[in-house]
Amino acid sequence: MKIAVDAMGGDHAPGEIVKGALKAAKILPDIQIILVGQKDKIDLHIPEDLKSTIEIYECSEVIEMDEHPAAAIKKKKDASIVVATRLVKEGYANALVSAGSTGAQMASALLGLGRIKGINRPAICTVLPTLQGGKLLLDVGANPDAKPENLLQYAMMGSIYAEKILGLKSPKVALLNIGSEEGKGNELVQAAYDLLKQSSLNFAGNIEGRDIPYGTADVIVCDAFVGNIVLKTIEGMSSSLFQLIMQKITASTIRKIGAILVKPGLKEIAHMLDYSEYGGAPLLGVDGTSIICHGSSKENAIFNAVRVAKECIEGQIIEKIVDGLEKSTQK
Amino acid sequence: MKIAVDAMGGDHAPGEIVKGALKAAKILPDIQIILVGQKDKIDLHIPEDLKSTIEIYECSEVIEMDEHPAAAIKKKKDASIVVATRLVKEGYANALVSAGSTGAQMASALLGLGRIKGINRPAICTVLPTLQGGKLLLDVGANPDAKPENLLQYAMMGSIYAEKILGLKSPKVALLNIGSEEGKGNELVQAAYDLLKQSSLNFAGNIEGRDIPYGTADVIVCDAFVGNIVLKTIEGMSSSLFQLIMQKITASTIRKIGAILVKPGLKEIAHMLDYSEYGGAPLLGVDGTSIICHGSSKENAIFNAVRVAKECIEGQIIEKIVDGLEKSTQK
């Protein structure tokens, strides 16, 4: 199986991206990596003894984070994200991974891979660390002005992903809302509630923001505006609270001694909350596997994103979504 | 100054509500409390020596949390929240505080007090604990389908509140969004951005979810659907993380010893994050002071809500909002 990795995308590209890709090539069975980008820059980060084993697919351009996505991918036909996406489209690679501009990756996917027939809007699906393990939140960034039928499709795609990738049997799907009772919320979620209730999904109704970290639902559905803000609020809460804890538990000599003793416990929590462990977020609904990574991704995050790409292909996520759509339209 | 306290509203009513109100009457200068509710139930919680000093305003009905707000306040004319609101309207009380059904309190306020002329929609304005102290988030629950001009009015009201109640000079107002650059977001916030940019407020542009806990803005504006989910996500993150920390730092004998040593530091954090310290959330935009408390409010939360009510009256929040509106329409 071949995974194209956009070696030029991300805050720590190409160094950390290459490291993560090499780790995946070494550890994961049946994985061949194609590093897409500027050969001279990538080469610096590949140890001599591996140079003959890793394929580099040369391309000349890079899309920067501040460029307008749609304009950039049209102008820079030889940008690493555009080329990586094309390799998937042409069947040369089975999936692609990038930590570059999310907008450019989405635009490349929409233009290069196209949508799965029947899916109106793709969604970025992320794994959230919770007290009950990893749970799904989608959409966290693709479509900030969603319609009720989009949310239904997110729920269907998320449910398939949770079953195949997280290994959850009949995943509990919930709608993110401002109250638990039916009839709560804005016009969008009220209409989406009705659609979800009528679907064949295991729909558990509404959940509120405070339920998210407790992991009470397996798949949480919302529009990208809400999802992105929630995801980043959770990230901000984790990091700010840890900063505060480290400051407060080392504020005196006695506390510092205590801090040394409890440190292994805090490390376990930091590990649980570490997004890099969960790999990238797939863009569900496009006709090809495109894994979106956090811009700040380092070696471990890229490694796990390649792992997720592999699991998506092995789990036949796209085929299952096509099947799911066919079944739901036959209903 | 007279504050009407809805003694029947909240998970811990009337016991904790009465305790908080009595504490306020004792500690805060120039405060007279009117306990609104069923006298026989309230009386049980007032010590004998205070019975002659505390006014009870008898009313026979209570609106339960699961009743439809608008229908309930029309049916139950003698419900504690309806009566407490009427006391403010009639000038018998200067403000009211309730921990009962938020919907019923809002409906009572809209019907009983009316909107301030020029404000299309009121907003619930909450104080968020952040690394830089308390900051404002609004709307967190009044109007889940907001329009751009609503967000502008929230910003104006929040800015006045931050200046008068939090004592912040020229408060930094930000729009909660999914990217920091202009042009990001859904249709609502894109249009609101333009209005805020043209306003005379100290508008700092967009902020993202991860910025909220760091306290980078003084007043964060969003629609109630987003605000309510963010507020509850923050609550859920605080409580779930603390639960996880307590579990992990006491998982062995050595860690338990460390936990004892760092406990004062963790207590300081818990105190910083304790919502009851910040009191209730005013419903800004109605023509009277109505302070909304968390349903789970206990003595300390009610005490602080009465304090907030007092500060709102002393800070002449309503008059300042009226002034602010006049100035902005004259521009």
With H, G, I as helix, E, B as strand and everything else as coil, classify residue A134: strand
The amino acid at A250: T
**Best mutation site among A261, A272, A273 for testing chain B: the one with the most B CBs within 10 Å?**
A261
Strand ranges inside B142-236, DSSP E = 173-176, 203-207, 219-221
**Is the ipTM, as predicted for this complex, more than 0.90?**
yes
Low-confidence ranges of chain B (pLDDT < 70): 329-331
Can you give the pLDDT at residue A275? 80
pLDDT tens-digit map of A83-100: 999 999 999 999 999 999
Domains recognised in chain A with CATH numbers: 1-117+285-314 (3.40.718.10), 120-280 (3.40.718.10)
| Distance (Å) from the alpha carbon of A142 to chain B's nearest alpha carbon | 11
Interface residue B226 vs chain A (CB under 8 A) = yes
CB contact under 8 A, A255 and B262: yes
Query: Which residue in B186, B209, B231 is closest to A144 by CB distance?
Result: B186
Can you give the pLDDT at residue A278? 81
The average confidence (pLDDT) of chain A is 94
Tokens of residue B119, six digits: 């404000």
b/e for A247-257, b at 16 or more Cβ within 10 A?
A: ebbbeeeebee
- Give the pLDDT band (50/70/90) at residue A52: confident
CB contact under 8 A, B248 and A269: yes
Q: Which helix (H) or strand (E) holds A258?
A: helix A253-273
| Distance (Å) from the alpha carbon of B135 to chain A's nearest alpha carbon | 15
pLDDT tens-digit map of B95-146: 999 999 999 999 999 999 999 999 999 999 999 999 999 999 999 999 988 9
The amino acid at B99: A
Query: Which residue in A226, A238, A243 is closest to B226 by CB distance?
Result: A226
Can you give the pLDDT at residue A228? 96
Say if residues B252 and B204 touch (Cβ distance below 8 Å): no
Interface residue A170 vs chain B (CB under 8 A) = no
Tokens of residue B153, six digits: 């009015």
Can you give the pLDDT at residue A111? 95
**Best mutation site among B64, B126, B178 for testing chain A: the one with the most A CBs within 10 Å?**
B178
| Distance (Å) from the alpha carbon of B112 to chain A's nearest alpha carbon | 24
pLDDT tens-digit map of A219-275: 999 999 999 999 999 999 999 999 999 999 999 999 999 999 999 999 999 988 888
Interface residue B144 vs chain A (CB under 8 A) = yes
CB contact under 8 A, B258 and A258: yes
Q: What residues contact residue B316 under an 8 Å CB cut-off, 6+ apart? A: B164
Q: Is residue B14 reached through a cis peptide bond, with omega within 30 degrees of 0 on the bond before it?
A: yes
| CB interface of B with A, residues 39-78, below 8 Å | 66
Q: Which helix (H) or strand (E) holds A56?
A: strand A55-58
Can you give the pLDDT at residue B231? 96
**Best mutation site among B226, B269, B274 for testing chain A: the one with the most A CBs within 10 Å?**
B226
CB contact under 8 A, A187 and B145: yes
The amino acid at A121: R
| Distance (Å) from the alpha carbon of B245 to chain A's nearest alpha carbon | 7
Say if residues A237 and B238 touch (Cβ distance below 8 Å): yes
Interface residue B133 vs chain A (CB under 8 A) = no
**Best mutation site among B210, B239, B253 for testing chain A: the one with the most A CBs within 10 Å?**
B210
Interface residue A228 vs chain B (CB under 8 A) = yes
Say if residues B279 and B305 touch (Cβ distance below 8 Å): yes
- CB contacts < 8 A (A, B): 189
Say if residues A106 and A143 touch (Cβ distance below 8 Å): no
Q: Is residue B282 reached through a cis peptide bond, with omega within 30 degrees of 0 on the bond before it?
A: no
Can you give the pLDDT at residue B274? 84
As a whole number of angstroms, the distance between CA B114 and CA B107 comes to: 10
Can you give the pLDDT at residue A329? 63
pLDDT tens-digit map of B256-268: 999 999 999 999 9
As a whole number of angstroms, the distance between CA A57 and CA A171 comes to: 39
The average pLDDT across A175-187 equals 93
CB contact under 8 A, A272 and B244: yes
CB contact under 8 A, A264 and B255: yes
Query: Which residue in A225, A240, A254 is closest to B185 by CB distance?
Result: A225
Interface residue A270 vs chain B (CB under 8 A) = no
